[in-house]
Amino acid sequence: MSHHIVEVKELKFSYPDGTPALNGVNFRITHGESVALVGANGAGKSTLLLHLNGYLTPQAGSVRIGDMPITKSTLKHIRQIVGMVFQDPDDQLFLPRVYEDVAFGPMNLGLPPDEVDQRVMSALALVGAVHLKDRPPYRLSGGEKRAVSIATVLSMSPSILVMDEPTSNLDPKSRRQLIHLLSEFDHTKIIATHDMDMVLDLCSRAIVLRDGEVVADGAARDILDNRDLLDASGLEKPLRLQGCPICGNSGKNQQL
Amino acid sequence: MGSIDSSFFDIGHLDALSSKQTPMHRVDPRAKVLTTICFIVVVISFNKYDPAGLAPMVIYPMAIMTIGNIPFSFIMKKLLIASPFVLSVAVFNPILDRSPAMDLGLFSVSGGFVSFVSIMAKYVLTVSAGLALIACTGFDSICSAAAEMGVPRVFTIQLLFLYRYIFVLGEEAVRMTRARALRSFGDKGLGMGVYGSMIGQLLLRTMDRAQRIHLAMLCRGFDGEIHHSRSSKIRLSDVLFFAGWSGLFVMLRLYNFPAWLGKELGRLI
């Protein structure tokens, strides 16, 4: 039995006011894959992410994590398997001290205090934030907040990491550090993003969403090089694959 | 906008003070909370025509601030901010209650004025003790102390969240007022009406955020209870702290220390 498979079949969802968000989404992500979920604003990325840990229930179709469908009785288990990192760290860090926040998940799992402590410290060590453990979260910089919010999820030892715009609002250096950090994880990763250069660095596969449907699903390098597809989906090629404004190189010969 | 910005960041200052390391900070939060409650009850119980009896009580907030290394000026500023509310309650006493209560030779002081002084003194004492308690304990420790002493979780969690998100909400409000100010060119903008919709906006944004936070909590297995990791043992020194101070408060309440001092001094002279 593998916990690492995410399978979405004919998933449909519209919001209570009638706005359709997803019109039959299909994909299957297997163990260890690193998948980018790209698409214009309003394409349905966030709505899709909210289905992956059972916050929203499919109106039609199904979502399966590992061998389990998402239902009320499997919810607790699924939320431990699928770790979700939110776009705004302020939503994720709600306790007065970093340590308590990272310990929140493990404590809810009912682990003994020693185990909690060990998990908290190793999660903080993994993201390089041990020195922040006694600080209040609202006093951290954007990059520190992001690192800590990833630690809050890692401390539950999830098999699948789901991230919404992990590089947004980060300065270039913090962004680079984050990408480096994520590249070291061997979790199955699903990353919703507009940062196409990060996709180039991190993801082997990309799923393109447009108006609530999957319009392309394949190797990231093929999709990132397909100008017509990207154009039609409100996206652009990664900057590194675009022409150089100084030397006039068209970017065609760029090595992927 | 300076005023909103600065008063907002002052809350952060209160929080920063609580991370100092002094003997006062090391006392168990439960002991400090109980002592302060005891202090407040005793202060309130003083007769309103006896402001002099209150004077020695000042020793407790003074001691916390001195030993806890908390700047007086900071607490005083906070007291000033809230004082108009208390003033508006107390200000009618001298007008309504004109019966002479004290004779100071040439003047006689009315009962209303005496009770006015006593209300203000009670305000200064209780609020400064409360602020000093937060400054040397930290709001989160006070909440968990309250929870450990049996205050229902619903209240302590609410307080904890209130304190955590007042910063975020404050920032949001500051951003909105700034955006309004920058486009109103020193005039009144669109007048008061625009504040109505701004407050509405803020409420909607708050509700949105609350939903996202709840989602974040659910994702990490939240089941209605926040489990606190810290559960320290009460030490003998904490018990002595509580017993010593509350004993002193009761003594000061039962025996009119200033009157006794006056009498003794009078006899010496």
Confidence of residue B164 (pLDDT cuts 50, 70, 90): confident
* Domain of residue B193, residue span: 168-232
Instruction: Check residue B112 and give its pLDDT.
Output: 83
- Same domain for B226 and B246, yes or no, is no
Q: How far apart are the first and last CA of chain B?
A: 58
Helices assigned H by DSSP within B46-138: 51-54, 59-67, 72-90, 93-96, 111-137
Domains of chain A: 6-94+159-241 (3.40.50.300)
- The DSSP bridge pattern shows strands B107-110 and B100-104 to be antiparallel
- Same domain for B102 and B173, yes or no, is no
- Same domain for B177 and B132, yes or no, is no
CA distance A162 to A189: 6
Instruction: Check residue B228 and give its pLDDT.
Output: 64
CA distance B111 to B113: 5
Q: Judge whether A138 is closer than 8 Å to chain B, CB to CB.
A: yes
The residue-averaged pLDDT of B223-237 equals 73
Instruction: Check residue B224 and give its pLDDT.
Output: 72
| CA A244 centroid distance within chain | 30
CA distance A85 to A175: 15
Instruction: Check residue A215 and give its pLDDT.
Output: 94
Domain-located, residue B159: no
- Give the closest-approach CA distance of B49 to chain A in angstroms: 43
- Same domain for B237 and B136, yes or no, is yes
Domain-located, residue B269: no
Q: What percent of chain A has pLDDT over 70?
A: 96
* Count of structural domains within chain B: 2
- Give the closest-approach CA distance of A91 to chain B in angstroms: 5
Domain-located, residue B31: yes
| Residue B250 in this model has a pLDDT that exceeds 60 | yes
- Same domain for B241 and B221, yes or no, is no
pLDDT tens per residue across span A3-25 = 678 999 999 999 888 888 999 99
Which residue in the block uniquely carries the two structure tokens 């030892």?
A: A157
- Same domain for B92 and B222, yes or no, is no
- Same domain for B226 and B110, yes or no, is no
Encode B236-255: b = buried (16+ Cβ within 10 Å), e = exposed. Answer: eebeebbeebbebbeebbee
**Inter-chain touch A108–B140, beta carbons under 8 Å:** no
pLDDT tens per residue across span B41-63 = 999 998 888 888 888 889 999 99
Task: With residue B44 as reference, give the H or E element that holds it.
Answer: helix B29-45
Residues 6+ apart with CB under 8 A from B3: none
Domain-located, residue B160: no
Which residues of chain A neighbour B19 with C-beta distances below 8 Å?
134
ipTM over 0.85: no
Domain-located, residue B260: yes
- Same domain for B111 and B209, yes or no, is no
User: Does pTM surpass 0.80?
Assistant: no
pLDDT higher at B234 or A65: A65
- Same domain for B112 and B208, yes or no, is no
- The DSSP bridge pattern shows strands A34-38 and A188-192 to be parallel
Find residue A69's DSSP bridge partners.
Answer: A64
pLDDT tens per residue across span B97-151 = 777 777 767 777 788 888 888 889 999 999 999 999 988 888 888 888 888 888 8
